[in-house]
Amino acid sequence: MAEQFIISGFSDEIDESIDIQFKHLNSLGIEYFEPRGVDGKNISELSQQEVEKLAGKMNEYGIKVSSIGSPVGKILITDDFCEHFELFKKVVATAKAIDSKYIRIFSFYIPDGKYDEYRSEVISRLKKMVEYAENEGVVLLHENEKGIYGDVASRCLDIFNEIKSPCFAGVFDPANFVQCGQKVYPDAFDMLKPYIKYMHIKDALENHEVVPAGYGIGNVEEIIKSLKTDGWSGFLSLEPHLGSFSGLDNLEMGDDMKGLEKSSAEKFTLAYNALKEILNKLRKD
């Protein structure tokens, strides 16, 4: 089990400080993280010097990267793409500097639900990014997210049908599907299973409240069990969202995460223990 599933996580939900993040990961025995917030700055905003400093901290604490938790593609489809593509190229350089094979991306927010109207532009932008990723030797992982083109399973599948590349795959986030009114299991999971390269571990209730894995209707245990049976191996990245954290306002366009208490090491640990409980149960089966 340990070799099949590797636990990682968005450690900026532990604390803003990268030292505190890494110390807590060390205390839990987690050897990977998904960098998003680093000492109060988004991973896409780090200078070359700050990236080098981060690499030094990683070496100091024995922490490696599972994927870059980038904000790429988390803009309106009507926003300027040239400027955003430069940000994307900077993120790719950061990924290579800290030895990350994967970069999490999104498929652009769609105004007023006009998915058909903007579909061709979404695909065009994603293809340009994937072509760049192929040349740079990194893999882009599309995450299903509320309000973007690939928010529900059918449109995620549309993207994967249009873009066939070894440098493009999917992040599967059960809670995000719940919050979009998408039935997660077996519907979304079976539809997208061939494209899942990476898992985000968070769960949600029918009212969209985020809860630890196994406590909502995202069928996290059933999904991991199916992946185990299929021999799938990869990262299970904790994205607890059990409280607010630095930079949340820049990441969430909806109101589901507003007004939460501050994130903490204790809440991250709660999310970790819930995942471990599922893995331990599956190990005994």
Task: Please write the tens of the pLDDT for every residue from 130-140.
Answer: 999 999 999 99
- Judged against a pLDDT cut of 60, whether residue 262 lies above it is answered with no
Report pLDDT digits (tens) over 191-202.
Answer: 999 999 999 999
Mean pLDDT of 217-225: 98
Mean pLDDT of 254-266: 56
As to burial, measured by CB atoms within 10 angstroms (0-12 exposed, 13-18 middle, 19+ buried), residue 248 is middle
Report pLDDT digits (tens) over 49-100.
Answer: 999 999 999 999 999 999 999 999 999 999 999 999 999 999 999 999 999 9
Confidence of residue 229 (pLDDT cuts 50, 70, 90): very high
Cβ neighbour number for residue 285 with a 10 Å cutoff:
7
Confidence of residue 263 (pLDDT cuts 50, 70, 90): low
Nearest to 70 by CA among 22, 37, 48: 37
Confidence of residue 285 (pLDDT cuts 50, 70, 90): confident
Distance CA 70, CA 34 (A): 9
Among the ranges 152-161, 201-210, 262-271, which has the highest mean pLDDT value? 152-161
Q: Provide the mean pLDDT of the chain.
A: 93
- Judged against a pLDDT cut of 60, whether residue 258 lies above it is answered with no
Cβ 282 vs Cβ 225: under 8 Å:
yes
* Percent of the chain whose predicted confidence (pLDDT) is above 70: 92
Task: Go through the domains of the chain in sequence order and give each one's CATH number.
Answer: 5-284 (3.20.20.150)
Report pLDDT digits (tens) over 144-192.
Answer: 999 999 999 999 999 999 999 999 999 999 999 999 999 999 999 999 9
Distance CA 222, CA 215 (A): 12
DSSP string, 200-228: EE-EE-TT--EE-TTSSSS-HHHHHHHHH
Distance CA 206, CA 176 (A): 11
Distance CA 156, CA 215 (A): 25
- Judged against a pLDDT cut of 70, whether residue 1 lies above it is answered with no
- Judged against a pLDDT cut of 70, whether residue 259 lies above it is answered with no
* Percent of the chain whose predicted confidence (pLDDT) is above 90: 88
Q: So what's the pLDDT on residue 261? A: 53
Total length of the chain: 285
Report pLDDT digits (tens) over 18-52.
Answer: 999 999 999 999 999 999 999 999 999 999 999 99
Burial code of 103-121, b = ≥16 C-beta within 10 A, e = fewer? bbbbbbbbeeeebeebbee
Lowest mean pLDDT among 10-19, 215-224, 257-266: 257-266
